[in-house]
C-alpha cells in the first residue's frame, strides 16, 4: 500500500522477499503469484513466465510456515524411535527419508530412548509444530491409550515395528512369528530336536509375536522339548543365557535368539566354554545386522528389512494424511533366513569366500 514502487529498494532492508514484492515486480496481484507458486492451471502461460522471472531475479524463498498457517498442511512428519543408535533404526530412517523426499516432505526425528515420558514430550512438541502425521515406534511401557490420544488429537499415526492398543490401526513391521518359524524349520530339517529360544522381557507386541512363533513351530513339528528363556536383549543376556542352558539336562542343541546382539552374546558364551557355535550348538539371530556376516563364525540370522519397513511406514502415513477416513492398513513384510555358519548348515563353504553383504 504505502510501499508503491520504489525501485531503489528492490531487495528490502528488512530481510526476506515476499509475495508482495514479487507481485509488485511482475505487475500482478499477490494472489496470482501464489497460484504460480503452486503450479495452478488457472494462470495464463504468459503471466506464469513473467512471474517466474521475477521470482528468479528477486531471489524469492517460499515461506512454508506462512503457507501452513492459512493452508492445512505443513509438509512435515514426526518420526519417533526408541534407539536411533541401533543400526536397524538407522536403515529404517534412511527408508523413511527416501520415501518422504520423493513427495517434498521433511521429517522431525526424535529419540525416545525407550522412555514414555520423553516420548510424550516429543509428541506434544510435534503437535505444536503441527506435523501432518507421526511415525511411532512406541517406547517400552507406552500406555495403550496413547494411540487413542493421538486419534483424539486428530494426528494421523502409523505404528512401526511394535504396536500398542487394539486394532484397527496403521502399522508397518515385519512378521516376527514367521521369522522364528523359518529359523526352526531350518534347524529341524538339519536334525535338531531340542531348540531353545532366548530373549524378550516385557510385553510388547514384537516380543509376543516371536514367542508365539516359537511355540507354534515347536508344536507343529511335534518336538517334545520346549524352553523359552526370558531376558532383556543385550549381548550380555545372550552370554548368560547360553551358560544357563548348557548347564541343564537335557541341554538344547540349538538356540534361536531375540535379536543379533543376543546371538552374538550366546556365541561368545559358547566359545568361552571351548565350544564352537554351529558345531557344538547351533545359533540363529534376528535382524541380520551388517556385522552378522562378519563375526566368526558368521551368524545365521532372520533378515527383517528395515529400509523397506521405513518406506512402507512413510507411504502409509502419506496415504492416511490424504485419506483420513480410509481403512486402516497393516503392512507386514516377510523376513528371510540368511544361512551362514553359526547354524552348522554350511560349515565349510563360507569361511573361504570373499566377504559378502
Partner DNA sequence: GGTTGTTTTTAGATTGGTCTAAAAGCTAGA
Partner DNA sequence: TCTAGCTTTTAGACCAATCTAAAAACAACC
Smallest distance from its own copies to CB 194, Å = 25
CB 216 to its own copies: min, Å? 31
Closer to DNA at the Cβ: 37 or 332?
A: 37
Instruction: Answer whether the bond into residue 343 is a cis peptide, omega within 30°.
Output: no
Q: Any idea how long the chain is?
A: 357
Contact region with DNA (CB under 7 A), list: 31-39, 143-151, 221-229, 321-329: 31-39
Q: What is the DSSP pairing of strand 336-338 with strand 195-198?
A: unpaired
Nearest alpha-carbon partner for 303 in 135, 83, 88, 97: 88
Q: Which residues pair with 229 in a beta bridge?
A: 198
Specify the residue, 32 or 286, whose C-beta has the smaller distance to DNA. Answer: 32
Pairing of strands 227-229, 195-198: parallel
Largest Cα span, the chain = 92
Per CB under 7 A, the list member of 24, 25, 32, 76 interacting with DNA is 32
> Which of the choices its own copies, DNA, none does residue 127 contact, using the CB cut-off of 5 to 8 A by kind?
its own copies
Q: Which does 71 bind (CB under 5 to 8 A by kind): its own copies, DNA, none?
A: DNA
User: What would the x/- binding string for DNA be over residues 33 to 72, using CB under 7 A?
Assistant: -xx-xx--xxxx-xx------------xxxx--xx-xxxx
Q: Where are the beta strands (DSSP E) in 211-304?
A: 227-229, 254-257, 282-286, 300-303
Q: Report in angstroms how near the CB of residue 155 gets to DNA at its nearest.
A: 15
**Nearer Cβ to its own copies (106/349):** 106
Give the sign of the dihedral formed by CA 340, CA 343, CA 346, CA 349: positive
Least Å from the CB of residue 94 to its own copies: 5
Buried b or exposed e, range 84-98, using 16+ CB within 10 angstroms: bebebbebbbebbbe
Could you give the CA distance from residue 107 to residue 136 in angstroms, rounded to a whole number?
A: 12
Count CB neighbours of 274 within 10 A.
Answer: 7
Residue 29 in contact with DNA, rule: CB under 7 A: yes
Q: How far is the CB of 58 from DNA (least distance, A)?
A: 11
Among its own copies, DNA, none, partner that 29 touches (CB below 5 to 8 angstroms by kind)? DNA
- Name which of its own copies, DNA, none residue 247 binds, using a CB cut-off of 5 to 8 Å depending on partner kind: none
Residue 18 near which of DNA, its own copies, none (CB within 5-8 Å, type-dependent): DNA
Distance CA 297, CA 314 (A): 36
Which grid cell sits at 39? 503450479
Q: Which residues of the shown chain bind DNA in the complex (CB under 7 A)?
A: 14-16, 18-20, 27-32, 34-35, 37-38, 41-44, 46-47, 60-63, 66-67, 69-72
Amino acid at each position: 500500500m504505502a510501499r508503491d514502487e520504489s525501485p531503489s529498494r528492490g531487495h528490502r532492508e528488512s530481510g526476506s522477499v515476499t509475495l508482495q514484492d514479487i507481485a509488485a515486480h511482475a505487475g500482478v496481484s499477490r494472489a496470482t503469484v501464489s497460484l504460480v507458486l503452486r503450479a495452478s492451471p488457472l494462470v495464463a502461460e504468459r503471466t506464469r513466465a513473467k512471474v517466474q522471472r521475477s521470482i528468479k531475479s528477486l531471489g524469492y524463498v517460499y515461506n512454508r510456515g506462512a503457507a501452513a498457517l492459512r493452508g492445512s498442511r505443513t509438509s512435515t512428519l514426526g518420526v519417533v524411535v526408541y534407539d536411533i543408535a541401533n543400526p536397524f533404526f538407522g536403515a529404517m530412517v534412511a527408508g523413511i527419508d527416501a520415501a518422504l523426499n520423493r513427495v517434498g516432505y521433511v521429517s522431525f526425528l526424535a529419540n525416545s530412548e525407550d522412555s514414555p515420558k520423553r516420548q510424550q514430550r516429543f509428541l506434544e512438541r510435534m503437535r505444536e509444530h503441527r506435523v501432518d502425521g507421526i511415525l511411532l515406534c512406541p517406547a517400552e511401557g507406552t500406555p495403550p491409550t496413547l494411540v487413542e490420544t493421538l486419534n483424539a488429537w486428530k494426528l494421523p499415526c502409523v505404528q512401526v515395528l511394535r504396536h500398542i492398543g487394539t486394532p484397527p490401526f496403521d502399522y508397518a513391521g515385519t512378521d516376527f512369528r514367521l521369522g522364528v518359524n523359518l529359523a526352526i524349520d531350518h534347524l529341524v530339517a538339519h536334525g535338531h530336536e531340542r531348540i531353545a529360544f532366548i530373549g524378550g522381557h516385557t510385553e510388547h507386541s514384537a516380543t509376543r509375536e516371536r514367542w508365539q512363533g516359537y511355540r507354534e513351530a515347536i508344536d507343529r513339528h511335534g518336538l517334545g522339548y520346549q524352553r523359552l528363556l526370558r531376558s532383556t536383549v543385550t549381548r550380555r543376556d545372550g552370554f548368560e543365557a547360553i551358560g544357563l542352558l548348557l548347564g541343564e539336562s537335557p541341554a538344547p542343541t540349538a538356540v534361536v535368539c531375540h535379536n543379533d546382539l543376543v546371538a552374538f552374546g550366546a556365541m561368545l558364551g559358547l566359545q568361552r566354554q571351548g565350544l564352537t557355535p554351529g558345531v557344538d550348538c547351533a545359533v540363529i539371530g534376528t535382524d541380520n545386522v551388517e556385522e552378522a556376516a562378519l563375526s566368526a563364525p558368521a551368524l545365521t540370522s532372520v533378515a527383517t528389512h528395515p529400509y523397506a519397513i521405513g518406506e512402507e511406514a512413510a507411504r502409509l502415513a502419506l496415504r492416511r494424511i490424504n485419506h483420513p477416513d480410509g481403512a486402516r492398513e497393516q503392512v507386514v513384510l516377510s523376513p528371510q533366513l540368511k544361512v551362514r555358519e553359526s547354524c552348522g548348515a554350511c560349515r565349510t563353504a563360507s569361511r573361504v569366500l570373499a566377504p559378502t553383504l
